[in-house]
Amino acid sequence: MTYTVGMYLAERLSQIGLKHHFAVAGDFNLVLLDQLLANKEMEQVYCCNELNCGFSAEGYARAHGAAAAVVTFSVGAISAMNAIAGAYAENLPVILISGSPNSNDYGTGHILHHTLGTNDYTYQLEMMRHVTCAAESITDAASAPAKIDHVIRTALRERKPAYVEIACNVSDAECVRPGPVSSLLAELRVDDVSLKAAVEDSLALLEKSQRVTMIVGSKVRATHAQTQTEHLADKLGCAVTIMAAAKSFFPEDHKGFRGLYWGDVSSPGAQELVEKSDALICVAPVFNDYSTVGWTAWPKGDNVLLAEPNRVTVGGKTYEGFTLREFLEELAKKAPSRPLTAQESKKHTPVIEQAKADARLTNDEMTRQINAMLTSDTTLVAETGDSWFNATRMDLPRGARVELEMQWGHIGWSVPSAFGNAMGSQERQHILMVGDGSFQLTAQEMAQMVRYKLPVIIFLVNNRGYVIEIAIHDGPYNYIKNWDYAGLMEVFNAEDGHGLGLKATTAGELAEAIKKAKANHEGPTIIECQIERSDCTKTLVEWGKKVAAANSRKPQVS
């Protein structure tokens, strides 16, 4: 059988476990899409636009470990770039594949459509280099295998997105067939000297400490170190807190779990616990302006053991040359075995009182009812806005997953990402919490949930504006045009869809709507939850003020 560049790419994607790839068609990628379709191990899944295509792939990577999105040159790829940059910020290996100009056009001075109108077609590759860990341009079949392999392996190793563009006349050109690969792709060789020293210096800190607390950060999933983190906590008998972006990355039924550490907006007791600890193990954290609440909660000092994806810093020294997983494993082997000490109170999530059925729907009641739906099979996707704060205050059963995009924070991310996530883990129940402002960016991707019959339950919070922005800095730009959100489902159903659009204005109506949503297995359900504009979590307001203060510091004059 003759093999082509496109078939080679398809087989490699399939070998790394992809069952789907996401796509938007355009004349620079049509032949490539045909080649990918020839691979029967993978399904081609279509999106409404390239931004959403990138975010759908991003969501798929969250559920499935890696993903691919296929777009056309410039008009498509530059839209997708925003989502790819998000995948970079969020540590997700998404392979962006763009069709590109005919190889015969390079160097001819030809002006091509869908380009900047100059005769240089290299700008897209240059742009993509900034938002990916590897970027290649393929204009001949002979070098295609090496370039494709480099892009895929680097993305998997670094847990970052990567980019490859393939000239439109090369994707069906003949090339060699790929050989087999192992699922474990090229980890770094361990530097034993450095690892041993990092473990010894960490033990020196832990052995002299009575009150040890772990802070688990969001990169723990990207580094595949969740199990090792839990084992270390078991061995040390320490208290464990999570950072907001790491919600669900540590089991909340663990006996050491003490809730969310987020400075002044922490779970009850968690801030005191962290501040009084004599050793703090920070596992894969991201300390940015949001997570440190405007730089007011940034653990530093001699009592901090900072365990990052490729580096450990402790006792005034820094070590590298091993993975976080290897470090945690070694540390757990040698760490002192201690029973769990009764550190502070066990209660970490405040109980929300149930509202009467005829009471006007509130943010609290909505959160309470969504929390009650969560099982070990649920994936809850929560958009930027008060949905972050509602998701992070939920009590999670073991196995429940929460997806947040706190580093990139692109409003509208959640709709396509939930679609991709649902596509990549169809055995799970998917719930999406999204504000009205965010939804207006990417609402059309709900149509793909209808098309692919995915029973995602969407809680659309209609509070008539950008409430998170109102909390940070108010102005006329924070108020939006109202939509008939529930009514949109009829538009997307058209002649053959099974989506359901419902509205809830009281606690009882929401409970009824949830029952109907659970019974709808043939498509998504959107429940438009109408709440007062001023009704948001206290933490959003408190956090918003602090972050706003940090970000409005006046320029320093020397």
Residues that bind ligand TPU (CB under 6 A): 383-387, 409-411, 435-438, 461, 463, 466-469
**DSSP SS3 for 82:** helix
What is the helix (H) or strand (E) element at residue 58, kind and residue range?
helix 50-64
What is the helix (H) or strand (E) element at residue 530, kind and residue range?
strand 525-530
Closest C-alpha among 357, 300, 319 to residue 514? 357
Nearer to ligand TPU, 410 or 503 (CB): 410
- CB of residue 56 to ligand TPU, shortest distance in Å: 16
Nearer to ligand TPU, 99 or 409 (CB): 409
Please check whether residue 88 is in contact with residue 115, taking contact to mean a CB–CB distance below 8 angstroms: no
- CB of residue 510 to ligand TPU, shortest distance in Å: 17
Q: Strand pairing of 304-308 and 212-216?
A: unpaired
Nearer to ligand TPU, 387 or 421 (CB): 387
Please check whether residue 59 is in contact with residue 452, taking contact to mean a CB–CB distance below 8 angstroms: no
Cβ burial of 65 (10 Å; 0-12, 13-18, 19+) is middle
- CB of residue 290 to ligand TPU, shortest distance in Å: 11
Please check whether residue 115 is in contact with residue 105, taking contact to mean a CB–CB distance below 8 angstroms: no
Nearer to ligand TPU, 17 or 487 (CB): 487
Closest C-alpha among 336, 411, 319 to residue 55? 411
Please check whether residue 180 is in contact with residue 15, taking contact to mean a CB–CB distance below 8 angstroms: yes
Q: Specify the residue for token string 């930027």.
A: 384
- CB of residue 405 to ligand TPU, shortest distance in Å: 9
- CB of residue 473 to ligand TPU, shortest distance in Å: 11
- CB of residue 469 to ligand TPU, shortest distance in Å: 5
Nearer to ligand TPU, 29 or 387 (CB): 387
Q: How far apart are CA 365 and CA 363, in angstroms?
A: 6
- CB of residue 471 to ligand TPU, shortest distance in Å: 8
What are 500's strand-pairing partners? 525
Contact residues for 256 (Cβ-Cβ < 8 A; gap 6+): 214, 233, 234, 237, 238, 239, 240, 340
Nearer to ligand TPU, 298 or 408 (CB): 408
Nearer to ligand TPU, 167 or 531 (CB): 531
- CB of residue 435 to ligand TPU, shortest distance in Å: 2
Q: How far is CA 126 from CA 8, 123, 132, in A?
A: 24, 5, 10
Other Cβ atoms closer than 10 A to 70: 30
Structure tokens at 11: 């087989």
Nearer to ligand TPU, 256 or 437 (CB): 437
- CB of residue 140 to ligand TPU, shortest distance in Å: 38
Nearer to ligand TPU, 344 or 469 (CB): 469
Closest C-alpha among 455, 461, 460 to residue 516? 455
- CB of residue 413 to ligand TPU, shortest distance in Å: 8
CB closest to ligand TPU, residue no: 435
Nearer to ligand TPU, 467 or 489 (CB): 467
Q: How far apart are CA 181 and CA 256, in angstroms?
A: 40
Nearer to ligand TPU, 44 or 82 (CB): 82
What are 163's strand-pairing partners? 96, 135
Helices 226-236 and 324-334 sit at what angle, rounded to 10 degrees? 20
Please check whether residue 445 is in contact with residue 48, taking contact to mean a CB–CB distance below 8 angstroms: yes
- CB of residue 208 to ligand TPU, shortest distance in Å: 44
- CB of residue 386 to ligand TPU, shortest distance in Å: 3
What are 201's strand-pairing partners? none
**DSSP SS3 for 495:** coil
Structure tokens at 263: 């400075």
Nearer to ligand TPU, 151 or 531 (CB): 531
